[in-house]
Amino acid sequence: MESDALLNEEFEPPGCPAGLAGGESFSGNFLPPWTEADHQPVTAAKAHRFKESRHAREFRRRFFPDTTDKEWRDWHWQFRNRIRDADTLSQMILLSEDERQAFLHPGGALPFAITPYYASLLDASDARQPVRRTVVPVIDERFHAPGEAGDPLNEDMSSPVPGIVHRYPDRVLFLVTSICSTHCRYCTRSRLVGNNVRNITAEQWDRAIAYIAENDHIRDVLLSGGDPLTLSDDALSGLLSRLRAIPHVEILRIGTKAPVVMPQRITPALTRMLKRYHPLWMSIHVTHPDELTPEMTRACVRLADAGIPLGSQTVLLLGINDDVETMKRLVHGLLQMRVRPYYLYQCDPIPGSSHFRTPVSRGLQIIQGLQGYTTGYAVPTYVIDAPGGGGKIPLLPAHAVGRDNGDLLLQNYEGRLYRYPDSETAATGIH
């Protein structure tokens, strides 16, 4: 099915202005998507004109000199030319000894893939760069800590038919593909994605759709995988059409990282097709402010203009995004792109993930550092997807700190205490 995803796609006309008005650097330290001169947000019209940022042009000139503008902007080309081995990657960045040993480990090759576009965001010399750490393997991945498991969320036990995870009463997760364009090192479903993993078959799709149709309490279907946007427009449209034809399915959602790692995928043809299946929502996996490039801005504006509500799902990662200022830059940049910060996930305990996982207290500190200090739209819900299949459990800093004479004692974001009348007599009307 991987080859089926690579069908002809509509190209955009060339000749539009490229890049930002200033402030970009090839080192991977990007400004938010507005001009440095006046700090005014990029309008939707301007975002549609972005073709290729300065750092991407420099990267392409150095490592893909014979690639045309049309090829670079074609998501099929990006997918076909993914960097998938250490030799190719080492021509683009200076591998640290830690990274090199991860590729050479006698346990075999680690699943690894990065689109050329996303490779252009990597710092060539700094192995500690946050974006680089999320996609380039290190030897710590070979260390399996206690409590880690290949299927930590027990999804396989909640799967009544292949491809369906039915954990919550009114909604299901539909794993429609095992293919990703770029592999995140902390992926919850690394057991299903990567080298030597068979893709989902048409027969599995049929059984999954039949299961949804037979259970009339299912009103919400989330397409995930792998990445559903590695499917062709025709394949994705056929799938959405079959789901939309089920009377009790009210909402369709797509979980994807394509706007971040392969923004070329978000073509006018794709958005025109997706508009036919409203109400349709999209959850985008965004990790760090360095991902908020002009290309990603254009992709998100296109989706938002098509009437698709966008939410960001961010995994909390040690030394990558686990401080208030980094998270604030991320959520503010997302809002500028019309993406609502939705979930902040505690990193799931998959094998080899201990070097990514933070203490839960760190996540609570970040939420506490956002609440009250920025708009509520910018504050995601911090959740742990409970190991063993318990589902998402939200965590909040303690703001209700006690009771006194029938009053609830509340602590605001500044640490000040306030009283709220909350006695049982008030609730029952007894005096």
Run of H or E including 326: helix 324-336
**Catalytic residue of the set 207, 277, 392, 422:** 392
**Catalytic residue of the set 60, 82, 189, 265:** 189
415 has a pLDDT exceeding 70: yes
Q: Is residue 387 part of a domain?
A: no
Sequence-distant (≥ 6) Cβ neighbours of residue 364 within 8 angstroms? 382, 395, 396, 397
Sequence-distant (≥ 6) Cβ neighbours of residue 248 within 8 angstroms? 216, 217, 218, 219
pLDDT in tens, 219-230: 999 999 899 999
Q: Is residue 65 part of a domain?
A: yes
Count of domains for the chain: 2
User: What is the rounded average pLDDT of the residues 242-255?
Assistant: 98
How many residues are present in the chain?
431
Catalytic annotation present for 168:
yes
Among 142, 157, 180, give the residue marking a domain's end: 142
Task: Give the angle subtended at the CA of 83 by the CAs of 188 and 198, to the nearest 5°.
Answer: 50
User: What is the rounded average pLDDT of the residues 261-280?
Assistant: 98
Helix, strand, coil % over all residues of the chain, rounded to 5: 35, 15, 50
Catalytic annotation present for 184:
yes
- For residue 407 the two structure tokens come to 């009053």
Catalytic annotation present for 189:
yes
Q: Specify the residue for token string 């996982």.
A: 357
Residue 17 pLDDT class (50, 70, 90 cuts)? very low
Q: Is residue 125 part of a domain?
A: yes
Residue 195 pLDDT class (50, 70, 90 cuts)? low
308 has a pLDDT exceeding 60: yes
| Residue scoring higher pLDDT (398 or 211) | 211
| Residue scoring higher pLDDT (110 or 116) | 116
Residue 200 pLDDT class (50, 70, 90 cuts)? confident
Among 122, 142, 162, give the residue marking a domain's end: 142
User: What is the rounded average pLDDT of the residues 165-188?
Assistant: 93
pLDDT in tens, 376-413: 999 999 999 888 888 889 998 888 889 988 889 999 88
**Catalytic residue of the set 16, 168, 413, 418:** 168
Catalytic annotation present for 422:
no
Rounded to whole angstroms, how far apart are CA atoms 62 and 25? 15
Please give the pLDDT value at position 180.
94
Q: Is residue 271 part of a domain?
A: no
Pair 256, 227: CB distance under 8 Å: yes
Catalytic annotation present for 84:
no
**pTM across the whole model:** 0.84
431 has a pLDDT exceeding 50: no
Catalytic annotation present for 74:
no
User: What is the rounded average pLDDT of the residues 69-96?
Assistant: 96
Rounded to whole angstroms, how far apart are CA atoms 176 and 223? 6
Pair 31, 23: CB distance under 8 Å: yes
% of the chain exceeding 70 in pLDDT: 84
Please give the pLDDT value at position 9.
39
Sign of the dihedral defined by the CA atoms of residues 203, 206, 211, 212, in that order: positive
Q: Is residue 90 part of a domain?
A: yes
**Catalytic residue of the set 60, 73, 171, 265:** 171
% of the chain exceeding 90 in pLDDT: 65
Among 142, 172, 198, give the residue marking a domain's end: 142
Catalytic annotation present for 347:
no
30 has a pLDDT exceeding 80: no
Please give the pLDDT value at position 7.
38
Pair 153, 385: CB distance under 8 Å: yes
- SS3 label, residue 166: strand
Catalytic annotation present for 234:
no
| Residue scoring higher pLDDT (402 or 41) | 402
Q: Is residue 155 part of a domain?
A: no
Please give the pLDDT value at position 329.
98
**Catalytic residue of the set 167, 185, 253, 357:** 167
Q: Specify the residue for token string 């990790």.
A: 287
197 has a pLDDT exceeding 80: no
User: What is the rounded average pLDDT of the residues 31-55?
Assistant: 46
Please give the pLDDT value at position 190.
77
User: What is the rounded average pLDDT of the residues 221-249?
Assistant: 97
**Crossing angle for the helix pair 202-214 and 233-244, nearest 10 degrees?**
20
**Catalytic residue of the set 180, 300, 345, 357:** 180
Q: Are strands 400-404 and 381-386 parallel, antiparallel or unpaired?
A: unpaired
The parent domain of residue 96 ranges over 3-142
153 has a pLDDT exceeding 60: yes
Please give the pLDDT value at position 108.
63
Please give the pLDDT value at position 64.
97
Q: What is the DSSP letter of 160?
A: S
196 has a pLDDT exceeding 90: no
**Catalytic residue of the set 151, 227, 233, 348:** 348
Q: Is residue 127 part of a domain?
A: yes
Amino acid residing at 368: Q
116 has a pLDDT exceeding 80: yes
**Catalytic residue of the set 74, 187, 265, 382:** 187
Q: Is residue 51 part of a domain?
A: yes
User: What is the rounded average pLDDT of the residues 142-164?
Assistant: 88
**Catalytic residue of the set 184, 186, 257, 322:** 184
Amino acid residing at 37: A
